[in-house]
Amino acid sequence: MIEEEEEAPRDLLLVCADLKFSLVQDNNNTSVKNEILKHIKENCMISFFEGCVDEGLLEKNQVLVDEMNKRSVTELKEIEDEIKKAEDTEGEIEVRNAKIKQAEKITLMKNKDCAVKAWEAIDGVSSGKRIDICFCLLRIALAYDDDKLFKKVNAKVKDLVEKGGDWDRRNRMFVYQALQNIRERNFKSASQLLLRTVPSFTATEVVDYDTFIFYTILVNIINQGRVDLKKKVIDCPQILQVIDKLPHCKELLNSFYNCEYASFFRSLIQVMTNVNDDRYFSVHSNFFLHQYRLAAYDQFLRPYRSVTLKTMSEEFGLSVNFLDADLCSYITEGKLKCAIDSVDGVIATRQYNQRDVEYRDLLKRGDNLVNRLQKLSRTLML
């Protein structure tokens, strides 16, 4: 991570997107309303304001809109004059810088489509600057939850980075991709990208460092084996520097690794509050809760051939009835390889080695292929 004084400030559009999400969660939060209105007024964010009004998050204010419209016209006209002057009397660098300034203004003042066009219209830039412009477009995609735009720009930036990107831009690209993977619930890929960029994180324009570490911890608990979890997360120096500032994350991580399941479930309930308050994670909150419980149950049951429901309920701090019903749901899904004897209150585990699993999977796929071939042959005969 770069030194604090060198950090780029977080993109204002992303800041406002998070504030807007907070208003969706709690529209009576006066401090959030005041903060978002402050950004809107200072930067003439007309389109963003009107979007919030249409969604019932902010009150309509035509006086404010008229004032922002007047200011935006004046400011954009000044930049257009600056571009024309640079084209007539100065060099390519001055023209490019003026166009970048114009695109930055349009991104805040106008809608998403106008912002994308403004950035794409900038030409005559080096490979490195072209990557930076792609990062601006990726931030717009993340702010507006536009998966199609992100996919399009991501393909372009990957090609540019492969051809001539430096290590810093490469690592920043990985952070952007990790955030999109979180949005798409591709947590396995996100976990790898997040861990890869922890030692050299510099992408403060898209996510602050503490939040980045929060994402890294949460995603990797359910995507790393015990050995890698200890080595790559629990003992990671960069994570250790920050984890005490992240509410309940240290307890969640260490209690899971140390098999202290009652403590794990208590801290999980607390952490879920932060998950629900996060714009990227909130949509996956039920999935996260489901996967964390599964990871804890599976880790507990693996060493046993059988264990009583009472013993497990005491270990987890859960009632026998809740545990019985919860385990049954995972068994039905095929996520836990065990059976419950409700009469005797015993959980019997079925341990399969990897070769058995692969053999059963091969047989299943073979049966499916034979069935499809038979259907196809009947169709052809007709």
* Strand ranges of the sheet holding 338-341, from the earlier edge strand across to the other edge: 306-308, 346-349, 338-341
With 50 as the cut, is the pLDDT of residue 4 above it?
no
Q: Report how far Cα 164 is from the mean position of its chain's Cα atoms.
A: 27
pLDDT band per the 50, 70, 90 thresholds, residue 371 = confident
Enumerate the β-bridge partners of residue 346: 308, 341
Of the ranges 13-22, 134-143, 209-218, 358-367, which one carries the lowest mean pLDDT score?
A: 358-367
Distance between CA atoms of residues 374 and 105, nearest Å: 62
Cα dihedral sign, 336-229-196-208: positive
Cα dihedral sign, 215-219-225-226: positive
Of the ranges 3-12, 123-132, 267-276, which one carries the lowest mean pLDDT score?
A: 3-12
Distance between CA atoms of residues 235 and 100, nearest Å: 42
pLDDT of amino acid 78: 94
With 70 as the cut, is the pLDDT of residue 2 above it?
no
Query: Token digits for 165?
Result: 């990107």
Tens of pLDDT, residue by residue over 191-223, are 999 999 999 999 999 999 999 999 999 999 999
Enumerate the β-bridge partners of residue 306: 348
> How many residues would you count in the chain?
382
Is residue 80 within 8 A of residue 102, CB to CB? The reply is: yes
> What are the extents of the domains in the chain?
1-121, 166-301
Distance between CA atoms of residues 5 and 212, nearest Å: 18
Q: How many other CB atoms are found less than 10 A from the CB of residue 98?
A: 21
Enumerate the β-bridge partners of residue 307: 347
- Specify burial of residue 311 (Cβ count, 10 A radius: 0-12, 13-18, 19+): middle
| Mean pLDDT computed over every residue of the chain | 91
Tens of pLDDT, residue by residue over 35-50, are 999 999 999 999 999 9
pLDDT of amino acid 270: 95
Angle between helix axes 127-143 and 12-25 (nearest 10 degrees) is: 10
Query: Token digits for 113?
Result: 């489509």
Amino acid at 280: Y
Q: Which residue has 């047989």 as its token pair?
A: 363
**CATH of the domain spanning 166-301:** 1.25.40.570
Of the ranges 25-34, 238-247, 350-359, which one carries the lowest mean pLDDT score?
A: 350-359
Distances, alpha carbon 200 to alpha carbons 162, 196, 320, 329, in Å: 18, 8, 46, 41
With 60 as the cut, is the pLDDT of residue 275 above it?
yes
Amino acid at 38: K
Tens of pLDDT, residue by residue over 51-70, are 999 999 999 999 999 999 99
pLDDT of amino acid 358: 58
